[in-house]
Amino acid sequence: MLGRHRHSNRDRLVHLLLDLAEQFGIQDSEGIHLRIKLAHQEIANLMGSTRETVTILLGQLKSEGLVDVGRQRIVLVQAEQLAISVHRNAPSLNS
């Protein structure tokens, strides 16, 4: 495992959300809506974590005002702040 960086579950989730925003995001006045519906378990599978962890982390991001989550709906309210938190550029949308 030399040369591999370990990222926290939160960082992996944020990277995944930013990647999904670039592929499936639509910008509007609320933020970037992901045009893909994913259950917490599906997100967990994509990032190699558990559903419980994803639920907790999405709740934390929501309480910080960075995302808004609903039933299989995710809006990146503060996409630029999310990107800064993992040292990458904000998503560029292809809409």
Contact 57, 15 (CB under 8 A): no
Whose tokens are 């925003």? That residue is: 21
Instruction: Domain count for the chain, please give it.
Output: 1
Tokens encoding 62: 């929501």
Name the residue among 22, 15, 49 with its Cα closest to residue 36: 22
Please provide the distance, in angstroms rounded to a whole number, between the alpha carbons at the two ends of the chain.
38
CATH code of residue 75: 1.10.10.10
pLDDT, tens digit (0-9, with 9 covering 90-100), for 4-38: 456 799 999 999 999 999 999 999 999 999 999 99
Tokens encoding 17: 């959300």
The range of the structural domain enclosing residue 38 comes to 9-85
- Examine residue 91 and state whether it is found in any structural domain, yes or no: no
Q: 86 in helix, strand or coil?
A: coil
- Examine residue 94 and state whether it is found in any structural domain, yes or no: no
Tell me the pairing of strands 25-28 and 73-76. Answer: unpaired
pLDDT, tens digit (0-9, with 9 covering 90-100), for 30-70: 999 999 999 999 999 999 999 999 999 999 999 999 999 99
pTM over 0.75: yes
- Examine residue 95 and state whether it is found in any structural domain, yes or no: no
